[in-house]
Structure 1
Amino acid sequence: MRRPRQPLFLARASYRRRRLRDAARLLPVVGVFLLMLPLLWPQGGAGSAVIFVFVVWALLIGFAAVLAHGLDQPETPSAAGDD
């Protein structure tokens, strides 16, 4: 009979860094979806669509800046004890 597998525990810093990288990869996909969303609106809302596009654009820039700041932090190999 096989022994049960031990759960895999990752260091907290490397786990967060991986999730930040995943979010950075997903941000353009979400951005394209949100920027294409006004195309589905009825034709009467051109003014609100322009406002929506610029608000989404500003939010994407803000999220990208936050993600870039988080990814810019140096990776510490001695953080293995930081669980």
Structure 2
Amino acid sequence: MSPKHNIPFLERQSYRRRRLIDTIRMLPVIGAVLWAVPLLWRQSEASGTVMTSDAIIYIFLVWLFMVVGGAWLARNLKRSDAEEKERGR
């Protein structure tokens, strides 16, 4: 006989909210990893270095992605909090 596993029941909304908070916490780590990518770029054979302009554009685009992604996640979290308060009343 196998023992019964007690799996806690989590409401769908609170589960999604927790995963959203986890994603927000991981956003700086993801950004740091993406910012380190230009260090791994292969050097061009002609000049022996990576074009600085390419690296700057890439870093700016990662920064822009982080800002837009953070704003979108914060908006979703705010909406989730409002729905939770509304259901609690």
- The TM-score range, normalised by the shorter chain, is 0.7 to 0.9
Distance 1:9 1:58 in 2: 38
The number of residue pairs the alignment matches comes to 79
Moved more, 8-17 or 25-34: 8-17
Distance 1:6 1:61 in 2: 40
TM-score of the aligned structures, taking structure 1 as reference length: 0.79
TM-score of the aligned structures, taking structure 2 as reference length: 0.75
Aligned residue among 78, 84, 87 for 1:72: 78
Aligned-residue CA RMSD in angstroms?
Answer: 2.2
- Structure 1: 5+ residue runs without aligned partners? none
Tell me, yes or no, if structure 1 residue 44 matches structure 2 residue 50.
Answer: yes
Matches within 5 A, 1:1-83: 3-41=3-41, 42=43, 43-73=49-79, 74=81, 75-76=84-85, 78=87
Distance 1:6 1:18 in 2: 20
Query: Deviations along 1:41-80, whole A, 9 cap, x unmatched?
Result: 222322211111111110010110011101112233847x
Distance 2:3 2:86 in 1: 31
Larger C-alpha radius of gyration, 1 or 2? 2
Moved over 6 A (4+): none
